[in-house]
Each structure stands twice: as structure tokens, then as C-alpha cells.
Structure 1
């Protein structure tokens, strides 16, 4: 087995792993949910699959993975932008005299 085959199998395993993570998170929550780890596994697995596709010189595979990576990365950006907006910085207030 060559290194590219091992990379391809590892990448496919990571890409499948995202669905396993999503399934477990949904079962724990009792409803369908997509955890942040799903998107990280998508980026990592998709990125490695893209490298494998480039090595194989498969334009269909390359375009599919490249397009997916844009979507996965954008979802992570949206998640972290929302977290930043939702974080409220509370300024300490001076105690009022006579209270």
C-alpha cells in the first residue's frame, strides 16, 4: 500500500467521522444538531481528500472537494462570528453612594 492510498483512506475516515460525530451529538441532545466538531472534521477530511484528488488528477473530485471546503470554512466563520457577537463584556460599575 502506498502513502497516497493511506492518505486517501485516512481522509475518507475523517470525512465519515463527521457524520458519526453528528449522529452521537444528535442522540445525546434528542434532536438533530450539527456540532462544531462536524465542521472541523469536514475541513480536515475535505482538505486531505482534495490533496488526494489533486494527486489523482481527478477534476470532478477536485471541484467537489474544493467547493465543499469553501462551505465548511464559511460555516466555521459564521459560528465564531456569532460567538463573538453573543459575548457580552460586562463593565464593572461603581457602587452608588447611599445604597
Structure 2
């Protein structure tokens, strides 16, 4: 029972992580240029966190390190995007 639940968690994490590429592709096609939408980073964060939980359960140090490091990058990109959005909002309000 527990094994099946963790297998489901692993597949869910992989599905979230893979979905980010579909989101990025669709956004780029709509813009007619390469773009990385904010949804890409949220899917990265959700998929990465889920896969990290699975990796910890499996006690796989390589997988844990890879997913753990990725989480910092995804969070940092979301923080940078939020900061840029606030700056843009402030510029518009000042104008």
C-alpha cells in the first residue's frame, strides 16, 4: 500500500515537472518568441518539491541533491519576477 502511494507521488511530481515544458511551449507559440511564463516556475516548484519528497523516501542522494538545488533556483526566479512586477507597478503609478 505505502509503496503504491509513493509511486503515485513520484509520477505526480514527474507529471507536474513535465507539464512546465508544455506551458512554456504554448506561451512561446502565442507570443511568437521564446518566453518563460510564471506558470513554468510554479510547475517547476511543485514538481520539484514533489519529486524531492519522493527522492527522500527512496533515500537517493543524487536525486535529493538535484531536486533540492533546483528548488532554490525556482524560488529565486519567482522572487525576481515578483520584484520586477512590483517595480513595474510603482513606475506606472508614478507616471
Question: Residue deviations 1:34-64, cap 9 Å, x none?
Answer: 0000000000000000000000000000000
Q: Unaligned regions of 5+ residues in structure 2, if any?
A: none
Question: Is 2:56 the partner of 1:54?
Answer: yes
Q: Distance in 2 between matches of 1:14 and 1:84?
A: 28
Determine the structure 2 residue equivalent to 1:7. 9
Aligned residues: 91
**Which structure's CA Rg is the greater one?**
1
Partners in 2 of 1:83 and 1:35 — Cα distance? 13
Q: Secondary structure, in 3 states, of the residue corresponding to 2:33?
A: coil
1:24 match: 26
Moved over 6 A (4+): none
Alignment of 1:54-93 (within 5 A): 54-88=56-90, 89-90=93-94
Distance 1:86 1:28 in 2: 23
| Structure 1: stretches of 5+ with no match in the other structure | 92-99
Q: Which has the higher helix share?
A: 2
TM-score by length of 1: 0.88
TM-score, normalising length: structure 2: 0.92
